[in-house]
């Protein structure tokens, strides 16, 4: 009963968000006809999003192989592909991770705890890649506005945070309070660095797709770095487990950042993220085949 009530509250929350977007001219569903007018561009967007999913499965496969998992790349890809679909329909963008945990426990014979830890590590690598790209786009924006002092200050603060975090890890290691997860992170540093680079590349693709939608589907003519930074914030906010796939949260934050921080007062900005969600959902739909096959194997 409590869970049912919470879901009702979340659905009401989604309705309120989209009502807010609608009355403030951030949303207009008539844009759906654009799917019929941009065949070649839409095909390009679909290919790019699929490539980001494929590259993401490579990242997770590298982490699994680093713990000597017996699982094949094809199995990893199928599980990762299925999880990408559930990321769109479960609350928050972390819902697909629960799906991954379920399947990896069934199809990997190695230490199940370590296998599940690779999913957490995979998420952390993704967050690092996303943050690095977000900071890079913000730095370029600040430089373009001749705010060099702020750029230098931001870099110094970021370096200080990294140093403090590293010192904290060393402290816990010396005190022998380090968890199994931190022990795992200490291993295979080269693999972890490769995974950060892969994560950076994944979000570079996703942000670029957002830019193409923004400037070539809707013709908003917004600077590349502004789109990158706005989508960085939108992705972070969408990760909050409040709505399915962060629905509404990503749209509202994208419109809010563009309007309130970059003074871009354009109607229907939320359409960009909705369009991106539709592309992502279409790409993920074929994974239903793998999901049904796995379900029938029970």
b or e along 40-51 (b: 16 or more beta carbons within 10 Å of the residue's beta carbon)? eebeebeebbbe
DSSP class of residue 262? S
Is 32 part of a structural domain of the chain?
no
Distance, in Å, from the CA atom of 164 to the CA atom of 204, rounded to the nearest integer, reads 28
In this prediction, residue 57 has a pLDDT band, given cuts at 50, 70 and 90, of very high
The residues near 154 (Cβ < 8 Å, ≥ 6 apart) are 135, 138, 139, 142
Is 34 part of a structural domain of the chain?
no
Distance, in Å, from the CA atom of 50 to the CA atom of 56, rounded to the nearest integer, reads 10
When divided into structural domains, the chain yields a total of 1
DSSP class of residue 36? G
> What residue numbers bound the domain in which 252 lies?
42-296
In this prediction, residue 69 has a pLDDT band, given cuts at 50, 70 and 90, of confident
pLDDT at 1: 57
pLDDT digits (tens, 9 = 90+) for 228-250: 999 998 998 887 766 766 777 88
Distance, in Å, from the CA atom of 229 to the CA atom of 270, rounded to the nearest integer, reads 15
Is 290 part of a structural domain of the chain?
yes
Query: Hey, is 191 helix, strand or coil?
Result: helix
Query: What distances in angstroms separate CA 121 from CA 68, 69, 92, one per listed residue?
Result: 15, 15, 18
Is 225 part of a structural domain of the chain?
yes
Is 185 part of a structural domain of the chain?
yes
Distance, in Å, from the CA atom of 85 to the CA atom of 102, rounded to the nearest integer, reads 15
In degrees and rounded to multiples of 5, residue 247 shows phi and psi of -55, 125
Q: How far apart are the first and last CA of the chain?
A: 29
The strand pairing partners of 92, in sequence order, are: 244
Is 7 part of a structural domain of the chain?
no
Is 3 part of a structural domain of the chain?
no
Query: Hey, is 91 helix, strand or coil?
Result: strand
Is 11 part of a structural domain of the chain?
no
Element (H, E) at 24: none
**Residue among 101, 99, 123, 113 at smallest CA distance from 290:** 99
pLDDT digits (tens, 9 = 90+) for 182-220: 555 555 678 888 898 999 999 999 999 999 999 999 889
Across the chain, mean pLDDT equals 78
């Amino acid at each position: 009963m409590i869970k049912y009530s919470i879901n009702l509250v979340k659905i009401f929350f989604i309705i309120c968000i989209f009502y807010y977007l609608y009355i403030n001219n951030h949303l207009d569903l008539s844009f759906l006809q654009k799917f019929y007018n941009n065949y070649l561009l839409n095909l390009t967007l679909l290919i790019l999003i699929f490539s980001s999913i494929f590259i993401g499965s490579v990242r997770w496969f590298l982490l699994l192989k680093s713990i000597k998992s017996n699982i094949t790349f094809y199995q990893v890809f199928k599980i990762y592909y299925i999880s990408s679909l559930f990321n769109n329909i479960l609350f928050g963008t972390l819902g697909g991770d629960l799906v991954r945990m379920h399947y990896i426990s069934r199809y990997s014979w190695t230490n199940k705890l370590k296998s599940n830890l690779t999913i957490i590590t995979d998420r952390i690598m993704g967050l690092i890649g996303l943050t690095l790209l977000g900071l890079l786009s913000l730095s370029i924006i600040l430089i373009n506005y001749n705010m060099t002092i702020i750029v230098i200050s931001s870099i110094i603060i970021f370096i200080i945070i990294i140093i403090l975090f590293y010192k904290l890890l060393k402290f816990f290691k010396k005190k022998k309070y380090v968890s199994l997860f931190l022990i795992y992170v200490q291993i295979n540093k080269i693999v972890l660095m490769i995974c950060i680079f892969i994560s950076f590349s994944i979000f570079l693709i996703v942000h670029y797709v957002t830019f193409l939608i923004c400037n070539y589907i809707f013709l908003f003519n917004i600077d590349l770095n502004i789109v990158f930074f706005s989508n960085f914030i939108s992705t972070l906010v969408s990760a909050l487990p409040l709505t399915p796939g962060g629905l509404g949260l990503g749209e509202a934050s994208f419109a809010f950042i563009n309007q309130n921080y970059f003074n871009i007062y354009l109607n229907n900005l939320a359409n960009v993220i909705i369009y991106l969600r539709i592309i992502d959902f279409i790409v993920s739909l074929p994974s239903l085949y793998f999901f049904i096959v796995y379900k029938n194997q029970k």
